[in-house]
Amino acid sequence: MQKICSQEVETQEVFDDKYLEDQFYIGLGYNFLLNKPETVIQRNLSYNLQLGMIKDIPLNKKRNFGLGIGLGYGTNSYYTNILVNETNNGITYDLLVDGDGVNRSKFETHGVEFPFEIRWRTSNPITYKFWRVYAGIKTEYLFSRRSKQVSDSGNEAFSNPNIEQWQYGLTLNFGYNTWNLHLYWALSDFLDENAVFNNEPLDISPIRIGIIFYVL
C-alpha cells in the first residue's frame, strides 16, 4: 500500500501543472564579423556578455515543450584594425596602420534584449539534469553605440550613430545540464549605409558563439 502511494506522489510531481524551467540566463561569447573587406581583421577578444530573465510558457501536459519570452541586457565589443574617426563631416573609416600610435580600435554596444524562443527539453519537476534545445529570434535595442581608439596618447571614445540602433538575429541554445552552447546569427546589418570603407559600404554583420547558463 505504501509503495502504491509513493508511486502516486511521484506521478503527481512529474506532472506538476505549475512546473517551470530556465527562467534566468547568463552567457559569455565571442563575436565574429562576417563580410569584412579583405584588409580588415579582428584583433584582441571581441566578447559578448548577456543576462536576463525569460517567462517560461509550457504548451503541453509534461511542460517540456513551450515558448520563452524574455527581457535582458547585452554588451558587445568588436576589436578590428578599422580606424574610426569623428570629424566635422561625419564618421570616417580607414585602415589602422602600424606605427601611427593607435594600439586598438573597437566598436562597443550596450542594449536591451528581447529574446523569443521555442523550447524543448527532457526535464520534469524531479529531474535536474536534462537535454534542452531552444531556438528563436532575438531583437535588441542599443541605448549605447560607441567607437573607441586606444593610442599611446590616451583613449578616445565617441558615440557612433552609424551603428544600427535596432539589431536582430536567429538564436540557438542547446546542451545538457549546466553546459549549453549559444549561437547567434545576425539578420540585420551592424552599420548603416553611411559607413563607407574604401568607397564601399561597410556591410559587416556579427555571428556569436559562446556558452549560456540557465537557472530557475
Q: Which pLDDT score, from 0 to 100, does residue 100 have? A: 67
With 70 as the cut, is the pLDDT of residue 204 above it? yes
CA atoms of 170 and 174, how far apart (whole Å): 14
Domain 22-215 has CATH 1.10.10: no
pTM recorded for the entire structure? 0.87
Mean pLDDT of 92-117: 87
- pLDDT of amino acid 78: 96
pLDDT at position 129:
85
| Cα distance between residue 155 and residue 103, in whole Å | 10
Q: Which of 40-44, 140-144, 188-192, 206-210 has the lowest mean pLDDT?
A: 40-44
pLDDT digits (tens, 9 = 90+) for 19-64: 788 789 999 999 999 999 988 989 888 999 999 999 999 999 888 8
Place of cell 539578420: 187
- Mean pLDDT for 147-156 is 80
Task: Summarize the confidence of residues 145-173 as an average pLDDT.
Answer: 91
Considering only the C-alpha atoms of the chain, give the largest distance between any 2 of them, rounded to a whole number of Å. 85
Q: Is 128's pLDDT higher than 90?
A: no
* Residue carrying C-alpha cell 535588441: 140
Domain range list for the chain? 22-215
Mean pLDDT of the chain: 88
How far is the C-alpha of 103 from the C-alpha of 124, rounded, in Å? Answer: 52
SS (HEC) of 79-131: EECEEEEEECCEEEEEECCCCCCEEEEEEEEEEEEEEEEEEEECCECCECCCE
If you average pLDDT over residues 14-22, what whole number do you get?
72
Residue with the larger pLDDT of the pair 177 and 139: 139
What is the structure's pLDDT at 9? 44
